[in-house]
A and B are shown apart, each in its own frame.
Chain A
C-alpha cells in the first residue's frame, strides 16, 4: 500500500518536474509554427501591451504578422493605455498601445508616436428621443448639466438621462476635451466602462444620451448630428466632424527591428484597408 502511495507522490513530483522543464524549455524557444524556411528573414519575440480598445486590432495584426513570419512570436496584452505607455517606457514591452495621446507627465519619456487608426465618436440617444440634431453648445449644456430637460433642446418634456464613459476611458478623455472644453460632465451621470455597455445602457434607458465609437454603432440606438454634421468616415476625413481621436502605438525612441516591421505591417495598405477599415477609419484615407 505504502509503495502505491509513494508511487503517487513520485508521479506528482514528476509532473511538477515535467512542467518546470517544460517551462524552462518554453521560455527558450517557442516555435510551434510549421516552419516554412523559404525566406526566414524575421525571427524573435515582440511584446505589446496597453489599451484594451486597441487590443482586438493589435491581436488581429499579430496573428496575420505571425502567419507571414513563422519564426516570430508576437504577444499582445491589454492592461490599459497608461499601462502600455509606462511598460514601453520601462522596457517591459516593445510597443505600448494607447487609445489616447501622451499626457503632459508622459511627454518626457522619449516615446515615438505611431498613429494607426482614427476613431470617430458619435453622440447617440435612446430611440424614443425625437431630436435629430444637436448644436455643439447644446451638447455641452446637456453633458455639463446646464440643460436637464429635453424640451430645452427641442424635445418632449422629459428629464435627460446622461450617460458618459468612465474616467479611465480614452473616449471620455477625448469627449471631455473636444465637446466639453475640458469641463467635467455633470456628477450624476451614469458611467459605463465600455462601448458595448454604453450602447446597451443608452438603448435600454428611456430619454438617455451618450456617445460611442462609430464601429459600435448599430440600430439599437440613434445617432444624432453634431452641429449639423453627421459623424461618419467621410466627415471625419474631410475634418468637418470634430469628434475623433487617433489610436496609437508607442515605441521607445525610433522603432527598430521587429517593432519597426510590425508597425509597418499595421500601417500597410493591406492591413489598413482589410482590417482597420471594418471598425475605424484607416490611416490610408486620411
Chain B
C-alpha cells in the first residue's frame, strides 16, 4: 500500500512540475527579454527610448514611430476585420442553413491555419502592386498592413464571438421570437446585448493577434523608420523592426530592440488582464 501512495505522490509532483512550466516559461521569457534590454534603459534612458527619432548612428533609439505603427495597423485591422468577423459569427449562429454553416465553419478553420508568411507573400506579390497602381505610392504601409491584419484577425474574432453568441440561452431568443420580434430585432435587442462581454473578449484577443503579428506585416509595411505621411507610405511596427534589425545590430541598438520586445510583452499581458476583467464582469452580470 505504501508503494502505491508513494507512486501517486511522485506522479502528482511530476505533473505539477509539468504544469508549472507554463509559469516558468513566461517568467523566463520576461526575465531574459528584460535582462537584454537593461543596457538600453541604463545607457540610452527611458526618455530617449520613447522619443520619436530612431537614429542609432546618432545615439537616438526612439521607438515612438514603431509603437505608433503597431497601434495604427492594429486599429486598422480591427476596423476592417471586426464587422466581417462578427457578421460571420452571426451568420453561423443565427442565419446559416445547415449546409452553409458547415462550409463557413470549415472556412474559418482553414483561414486560421493559413501561415502568416504565406499571407504576407500574397500581400507583397498581389495586394501591394494593386495599391501601388491605384494610389501611385509605393503601395506599402498602414493600409496594406491593415488589410492583411484584418484577414488574420477574422478567424480569432469569429470563433470566440461565435462561442459568445452560442452561450446566450436559447430561451431568451425564443421568448423574443414568441413575442413576434423579427430576427434582426431579436439579434439587436436580445442577442447582442447579452453576448456583449464575450464579443468584447473576442475583439481584445483579435487585438492581441494583430499586435503580435510579424511576418505578414513585415512584407507589406514598407519599411521606413519614420512616421508615415499617409496610409500608403512606408513605416514600421514594433514586431517588424525587431525582426529586421535584430541580426544586424549590436550594443545599445540591439538592447533597445529587446526593450521593444519588452513593450510588446507588456502590451500582451495588459490585454490578458483586460480579458480577465471583462470576463469577471460577465460573471457578475449573470
A residues with a Cβ closer than 8 A to B are: 51-52, 78-83, 85-86, 103, 105-106, 166-170, 176, 182, 184, 187-193, 201, 204-206
Contacts and interface: CB of A to CB of B under 8 A. Distances in A.
Contacts of B136: 206
Given A105-B250, A168-B244, 14 more contacts: A52-B247, A81-B247, A81-B248, A82-B248, A83-B247, A86-B250, A167-B54, A167-B249, A168-B247, A170-B248, A188-B224, A193-B223, A204-B139, A205-B138
The 5 closest A-B pairs by CB, nearest first: A80-B247, A168-B248, A80-B248, A168-B245, A191-B224
5 contacts: A81-B248, A105-B250, A168-B244, A168-B248, A184-B55
Contact of A166 (B55, B132, B223): B223
B46 interface: no
Contacts of B226: 187-188
A193 B244 CA distance: 7
Given A168-B245, A190-B234, A82 B223 contact: no
Interface in B214-228: 222-226
A169 B248 contact: yes
Contacts of A81: 247-248
Contact of A184 (B58, B246, B248, B251): B58
Contact of A105 (B129, B246, B251): B251
Interface in B225-276: 225-226, 229, 234, 244-251, 254
Contacts of B223: 166, 191-193
Interface residues of B, number: 26
Contacts of A182: 57
Contacts of A204: 129, 132, 138-139
A170 B250 CA distance: 13
Contact of A190 (B54, B56, B224, B251): B224
Interface string B96-132: 0000000000000000000000000000000001001
B54 A78 contact: no
A105 B249 CA distance: 12
Given A167-B54, A188-B229, A190-B222, A201 B138 contact: yes
A205 B56 CA distance: 28
A257 B35 CA distance: 36
A124 to B, nearest CB: 16
Given A184-B55, A184-B57, A166 B247 contact: no
A183 to B, nearest CB: 9
Contacts of B57: 176, 182, 184
B13 to A, nearest CB: 20
Contacts of A205: 138
B136 to A, nearest CB: 8
Nearest to A86: B250
Most B C-beta atoms less than 10 A away, residue of A106, A176, A184, A190: A190
Interface in B136-158: 136, 138-139
A52 B243 CA distance: 13
A79 B250 CA distance: 12
Contacts of A191: 222-225, 234
